[in-house]
């Protein structure tokens, strides 16, 4: 490690998604100093990568970017992006210490002005995971159009070391020799807002282990539907055909003990319905079918949203999909038991199939932070009924999907709750110190 910096804050927030940002804002607005540590190169989490959000159909960017900008410009918030959290430990009765490694971007953050000249100049094209790998990005790039901060980073695995980016950079920010930097962030309290990832697409043998053409994940579909998505329209990936028949397979990664995910992921019904609605706008002639076990539209306005989708002509079929296979013409065949008819085994083909995958924790605290997890692998909340954001470690709180699957509305409320607990904990420490 080349350098080492130590800093003090009132609160540390781990994760710069919507939960972390809301908790940070609610703390900072009360004049507490907050550090936000984010592993990605941009804050915004999963939410900024979505197309639109249920049940209002607001564009996700319209709702996320103001909170991102407000955090980035808040005088009491310091963002640490592209950072790995190595450990959080209790240093004393009043201090938690986090060891964090700033990963090298190979671009000096204080020099980069986000002009993208390096990106335009770079000759290397690689699939862009931010766009579901449907389109390409360069080997040096700004993460995505509304990323914060707008600082380029280099993908060293794919860089050809041609030197072009360094040549075109107007501020000399490209630094091929940049080293990781170790930071020690001390704070009195911490909020864990580490979020989720989708259950893997290739997990289930009956569903083709990710090998079947035109079977995509629900987050891939978010990209296809996003206004600044890979194709700017909905095309199926294998051949660029506009799909006429699209199917959703619900509970593809949830309520399934064989996958080790016995719980409900809580958002998949609603995001499938939302995507189906957006698809019927983008492809008015397409047939859209949702295969489901139970529709769980339980939030404010959600049931009405579901009923609207039915009225729009989206087909809902009560069935657990038993098998997914490749059919002719790169179509996808679904096999299921017809519950509404006589119970016969049915087969139907669709041009494009979306697996409504579930949520698993993005981050596991073992060996990093001594908070406990439950059997579902999410962080344990021992007082879930009265103080849902308490963990089993004093002074450490949890918000959002880190404490179990949740939609955005519930996540934002919980982030506010975690901020309330953290501020009262800070208050208590400050009172003790004054006494």
Partner 1 sequence: MADNNQKDPEPKVGVYICHCGGNISDHVDVAKVAQEAEKLTGVSVAHTNMFMCSDPGQELIQKDIKDGKINRVVVASCAPSLHELTFRSAIKRAGMNPYLYDHANIREQDSWVHHGDPATEKAVALVAAAVSKARHLEPLEPIRVDARNHATVIGGGVAGLRAALDLSRRGIQVALVEKSPFLGGRVAHLNRVNPTGEKAADLIRPLAEAVCNDAGIQVYTCSRVVRFEGYVGNFKLGLKRQPPETPEDLAKLEKWAESGKKEGDYLPFAGYYPQKVPNTAEETEISTGAIVFATGFKTYEPRKGEFGFQENPEVIPLPAFIEAVAKEKPKGGTLTLNGRPIRRVAFIHCVGSRQIPGLHEPDDQGNLNEYCSRTCCSATLQAAIEIREAFPETRVLEYYRDIRTYGRGQEDQYERAADHHVLFFRYEPEAPPVVERAAGGTYPLTVTVKDTLTFGETVEAGVDLVVLAVGMEPNPIQDLIEMMKLPVGADRFLQEVHPKLRPVELANTGILLAGTCQAPMDMGEACNAAQAAAVKAATLLSKGYVELDPFVAKVNEEKCTGTGACVSACPVEAITLKEAEHQGKKIQRARVNPALCTGCGICVAECPNNAIDVMGWTLKQYEEMVDAIVAA
For the chain, the straight-line distance linking the first and the last C-alpha, in angstroms and rounded, comes to: 41
Among 351, 378, 396, 402, binds partner 1 (CB under 8 A): 378
Taken in order 69, 59, 19, 152, the sign of the CA dihedral is negative
Q: Is 135 in the site for partner 1 (CB under 8 A)?
A: no
Which of 157, 341, 366, 435 forms a contact with partner 1 (CB under 8 A)? 341
Listed in sequence order, the residues at least 6 apart from 138 whose beta carbon sits closer than 8 Å to its beta carbon are 118, 119, 122, 124, 125, 126
Q: What are phi and psi of 67, to 5 degrees?
A: -70, -35
Separation of alpha carbons 302 and 308, rounded Å: 10
Verify binding: residue 227, partner 1, rule CB under 8 A: yes
Any contact of residue 350 with partner 1 (CB under 8 A)?
no
- Residues 141-170 binding partner 1 (CB under 8 A) are 145-146, 148-150
The site for partner 1, by CB under 8 A, has a size of: 81
Helix, coil or strand: residue 416: helix
Query: What's the number of CA atoms in the CB half-sphere (13 Å) around residue 230?
Result: 22
179 near partner 1, rule: CB under 8 A:
no
**What are the E-state strand segments in 58-171?**
58-59, 77-80, 83-90, 96-102, 125-127, 136-138, 140-141, 153-154
**Which one among 228, 312, 372, 432 touches partner 1, defined by CB under 8 A?**
228
Distances (CA, A) of 101 to 7, 66, 243, 370: 13, 28, 45, 19
Which residue matches tokens 């407000």?
70
**277 in helix, strand or coil?**
helix
CB 386, min distance to partner 1, A: 6
Q: Supply 57's token pair.
A: 């159909």
The least distance separating partner 1 from the CB of residue 340, rounded to whole angstroms, comes to 6
Binding flag, residue 53, partner 1 (CB under 8 A): yes
Distance of closest approach, residue 327 Cβ to partner 1, in angstroms: 27
Count of beta carbons in the 10 Å neighbourhood of residue 390: 21
The structure tokens listed for 4 are 């080492």
Q: How far is the CB of 427 from partner 1 (least distance, A)?
A: 6
Q: Does 435 bind partner 1 (CB under 8 A)?
A: no
Q: By C-beta, is 72 or 159 nearer to partner 1?
A: 72
**What number of H helices and E strands is found in the chain?**
8, 25
**Contacting residue, 96, 166, 402, 419, with partner 1 by CB under 8 A:** 419
Q: Is 318 in the site for partner 1 (CB under 8 A)?
A: yes
Return the residue of 5, 6, 58, 347 that touches partner 1, per CB under 8 A. 58
Nearest to partner 1 of 297, 393 (CB atom): 297
Binds partner 1 (CB under 8 A): choice among 5, 6, 125, 298: 298
- Choose among 359, 384, 403: nearest CA to 263: 359
413 binds partner 1 (CB under 8 A): yes
- Interaction of residue 171 with partner 1, rule CB under 8 A: no
CB of 326: closest distance to partner 1 in angstroms? Answer: 30
Q: Which stretch binds partner 1 (CB under 8 A): 2-10, 66-74, 151-159, 162-170?
A: 66-74
- The two tokens of residue 145 are 């159009």
Considering the complex, what minimum distance in angstroms separates the CB of residue 373 from partner 1? 12
Q: By CB under 8 A, is residue 264 in contact with partner 1? A: yes
**Candidate residues 2, 5, 6, 69; the one interacting with partner 1 per rule CB under 8 A:** 69
**Residue 38 contacts partner 1 per CB under 8 A:** no
CA distance readout (Å), 9 to 215, 285, 392: 46, 55, 22
How near is the Cβ of 15 to partner 1 at its closest, in Å?
17
315 binds partner 1 (CB under 8 A): no
Name the minimum Å distance from CB 410 to partner 1: 7
């Amino acid at each position: 490690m080349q350098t080492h910096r130590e800093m003090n804050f009132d609160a540390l927030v781990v994760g710069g998604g919507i939960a972390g940002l809301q908790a940070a804002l609610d703390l900072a607005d009360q004049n507490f100093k907050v550090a936000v540590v984010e592993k990605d190169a941009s804050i915004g989490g999963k939410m900024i990568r979505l197309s639109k959000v249920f049940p209002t159909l607001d564009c996700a960017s319209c709702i996320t970017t103001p909170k991102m900008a407000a955090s980035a410009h808040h005088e009491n918030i310091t963002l640490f992006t592209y950072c790995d959290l190595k450990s959080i430990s209790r240093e004393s009765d009043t201090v938690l210490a986090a060891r964090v490694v700033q990963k090298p971007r190979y671009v000096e953050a204080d020099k980069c002005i986000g002009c993208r000249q390096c990106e335009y100049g770079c000759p290397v094209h690689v699939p862009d995971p931010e766009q579901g790998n449907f389109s390409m990005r360069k080997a040096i790039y700004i993460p995505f159009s509304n990323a914060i901060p707008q600082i380029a980073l280099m993908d060293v695995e794919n860089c050809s070391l041609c030197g072009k980016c360094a040549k075109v950079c107007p501020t000399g920010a490209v630094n091929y020799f940049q080293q990781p930097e170790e930071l020690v962030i001390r704070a009195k309290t911490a909020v864990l807002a580490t979020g989720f990832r989708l259950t893997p697409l290739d997990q289930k043998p009956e569903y083709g282990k990710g090998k079947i053409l035109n079977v995509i994940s629900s987050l891939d579909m978010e990209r296809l539907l996003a206004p600044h998505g890979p194709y700017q329209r909905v095309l199926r990936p294998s051949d660029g055909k506009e799909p006429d028949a699209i199917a959703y397979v619900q509970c593809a990664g949830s309520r399934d003990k064989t996958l080790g995910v016995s719980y409900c992921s809580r958002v998949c019904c609603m995001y499938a319905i939302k995507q189906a609605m957006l698809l019927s706008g983008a492809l008015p002639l397409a047939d859209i079918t949702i295969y489901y076990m139970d529709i769980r539209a339980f939030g404010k306005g959600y049931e009405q949203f579901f009923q609207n989708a039915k009225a729009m002509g989206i087909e809902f079929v009560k069935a657990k999909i038993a098998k997914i296979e490749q059919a002719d013409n790169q179509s996808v065949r679904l096999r299921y038991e017809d519950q509404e008819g006589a119970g016969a085994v049915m087969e139907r083909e669709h041009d494009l199939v979306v697996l409504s995958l579930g949520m698993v924790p993005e981050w596991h605290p073992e060996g990093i932070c001594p908070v406990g997890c439950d059997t579902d692998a999410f962080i344990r909340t021992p007082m879930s009924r009265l103080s849902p954001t308490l963990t089993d470690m004093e002074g450490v709180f949890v918000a959002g999907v880190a404490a179990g699957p949740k939609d955005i509305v519930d996540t934002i409320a919980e982030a506010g709750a975690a901020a309330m607990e953290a501020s009262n904990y800070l208050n208590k420490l400050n009172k003790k110190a004054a006494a």
